[in-house]
Structure 1
């Protein structure tokens, strides 16, 4: 397994790698989706306004990429508009955009962050699906999910990453997503809808040496949270949830674990009290998620099904 990059955003059973949260309403889900769409909308428009065509060209990104980027920004604007209209029709006042702080300094760091954010957005919609009761709302969420996945693939390709690295999308629960989103939110209007979600303590992934394909990579994580003895680092990738016993480095204080062979592409890591046994429960989470970009070797194809 080879690491292409490692990025932390501070702040499985194949059938059901994530638990459904009781008491979450469709309005909760739509308001949360609007929070994420506002964030992406402001993120893209801010960068397009800040950087010129020459800035993108100097960073190695073509005019065609910039044109695609403008379509992405338009998509996010459309998602905001659709969700606002849907919430208004449902009798709920739509959330307004917050004030954000995005840690990019140039075009390359912006594009790198955009790839991660799109992956989180895709995971958020997929993870929220079990909580949606209305078939109409589920169809809308599914339609947006498809578009977010297109954005993710475009950004991964332009970052030199394999777009379809994992055969499956990675569902992520609302508290995990809220933890990641909260890292970029400075403040929100006082009258905004009170979401029933919480942010976990942050978990930071420490970038290690890039190993060769086939080597086991031991990666390290740091957190300010109180960690009980016997904790695990749990990797969420595609439909797979794998817990690995964490070992604490007495010198650095980092928690170490070998990255599972089942992790591919954008992978989320949470520190858990016990082995998750394929299902993430919020009560088991100590800190995180952190985000890793994990790359496997070349895929092996079985051609025996060809006639």
Structure 2
């Protein structure tokens, strides 16, 4: 099967309903004292100083701390959300390291360095865990790992989903950096975003053999928690430490936003039918009120009026703005106000449309 087919299959398979679990917050156990030690920046390997976060080649998880409690800080809630999300990304790569080997990727037609790169990215993500834990104050809970389930069974579907995750995380981080108040926190998040971009550039060039340049600006999507909310289906219900905060916090529990299963193209200018996934969590449209599909690309957004009076008997149809170039990523929401100027104006979404390596599908996961 060709790379294009596999990418499309992976993305379109992710358009369905996503039941959002509510991870709840780290059990005090015998491991707590060890976690306290590991969360101390002077204990054990330090990201940026110890090569283990780049050059560890074992299959067992890269050494990293789990969690600990600490004092409330001005940006603690943002870092808690980011740490909880990072556990998902770390486990995404860790499970692949355990499931596959060098021969797995070579047999799938990938470069012979692919498994090594996957482990190196896994190591980077372990370093991110440590960095995020150290950013959380001593009296705030440091979310611990849950159990996770990922919809990949082979190297191709793993790398396709990884492409979706990495490119989407770049749009997510542009929103998250707007939530923090300390300049040091903004700088740290920018540094992490740059690392995630390198991961994505590697995949686009080495794996998919496409142009990695995404235009003059990556996409700015202002509501990071809305992106995080769409990852809840990856968390095994009931598997999180009992003291973990709700993920994300606050959580709007928005309906999912995707495209109908018969969608043929998601390139700019394409007309699509919107789908909202989970039948138990559908948007509510007030009669006589105008709603909009708002598409974010680069540093701008374009609002397209939609007709909702006959929904759900009739699909909601919208044309993706043809003004956008086929580069990078487009984030879409349904809103009750042009431009979706506040998170409260968002009715459903976000959906993520990848334009590279080809239009994959709407929805992060």
Normalising by structure 1, what TM-score?
A: 0.80
The corresponding residue for 2:263 is 208
- Name which one, 1 or 2, has greater alpha-carbon Rg: 2
The corresponding residue for 2:324 is 262
**Larger relative strand fraction:** 1
Q: Distance in 2 between matches of 1:253 and 1:222?
A: 11
What pairs up with 1:176-187 in 2 under 5 angstroms?
Answer: 176-187=226-237
The corresponding residue for 2:250 is 196
Say yes or no: does 1:290 pair with 2:351: yes
Say yes or no: does 1:169 pair with 2:218: yes
Question: 2:335·2:346 contact (CA, 8 Å) conserved in 1?
Answer: yes
Q: Distance in 1 between matches of 2:256 and 2:357?
A: 27
Alpha carbons of structure 1 residues 86 and 216: separation in structure 2 relative to 1, 3 Å: closer
Question: 1:174·1:197 contact (CA, 8 Å) conserved in 2?
Answer: no
Q: Deviation of residue 174 (structure 1)?
A: 2.4
Q: Distance in 2 between matches of 1:55 and 1:183?
A: 27
Question: 1:96·1:189 contact (CA, 8 Å) conserved in 2?
Answer: yes
Structure 2 unmatched runs, 5+: 1-6, 19-72, 277-281, 359-365
The corresponding residue for 2:299 is 239
Q: Distance in 2 between matches of 1:136 and 1:130?
A: 13
Question: 1:268·1:289 contact (CA, 8 Å) conserved in 2?
Answer: yes
The corresponding residue for 2:132 is 83
Alpha carbons of structure 1 residues 295 and 230: separation in structure 2 relative to 1, 3 Å: farther
Deviations 1:53-74 (A, max 9, x none): 2221222211212211111100
Say yes or no: does 1:110 pair with 2:158: yes
Q: Distance in 2 between matches of 1:296 and 1:114?
A: 12
What pairs up with 1:272-283 in 2 under 5 angstroms?
Answer: 272-276=335-339, 279-283=340-344
Q: Distance in 2 between matches of 1:31 and 1:210?
A: 37
| Counterpart among 219, 225, 233 of residue 283 in structure 2 | 225
Q: Distance in 1 between matches of 2:159 and 2:313?
A: 31
Say yes or no: does 1:73 pair with 2:137: no
Structure 1 unmatched runs, 5+: 12-23, 298-307
Question: 1:234·1:275 contact (CA, 8 Å) conserved in 2?
Answer: yes
Deviates more, 1:154-163 or 1:116-125: 154-163
Alpha carbons of structure 1 residues 218 and 160: separation in structure 2 relative to 1, 3 Å: farther
Deviations 1:227-260 (A, max 9, x none): 3453221111221211112246879743221111
Question: 1:241·1:280 contact (CA, 8 Å) conserved in 2?
Answer: no
Alpha carbons of structure 1 residues 226 and 51: separation in structure 2 relative to 1, 3 Å: same
Alpha carbons of structure 1 residues 210 and 286: separation in structure 2 relative to 1, 3 Å: closer
Deviates more, 1:281-290 or 1:192-201: 192-201
Q: Deviation of residue 197 (structure 1)?
A: 3.1
Q: Distance in 1 between matches of 2:147 and 2:83?
A: 14
Question: 1:128·1:174 contact (CA, 8 Å) conserved in 2?
Answer: yes
The corresponding residue for 2:147 is 99
What pairs up with 1:123-138 in 2 under 5 angstroms?
Answer: 123-138=171-186
Q: Distance in 2 between matches of 1:148 and 1:270?
A: 24
Question: 2:168·2:352 contact (CA, 8 Å) conserved in 1?
Answer: no
The corresponding residue for 1:34 is 83
Q: Distance in 2 between matches of 1:225 and 1:252?
A: 14
Compare relative contact order (CA 8 Å, sep 6+) and give the higher one, 1 or 2: 1
Normalising by structure 2, what TM-score?
A: 0.68
Deviations 1:20-57 (A, max 9, x none): xxxx9410111111011111000001012112322212
What pairs up with 1:134-173 in 2 under 5 angstroms?
Answer: 134-157=182-205, 158-172=207-221, 173=223
Partner secondary structure for residue 272 of structure 2: strand
Say yes or no: does 1:119 pair with 2:171: no
Q: Distance in 1 between matches of 2:311 and 2:283?
A: 16
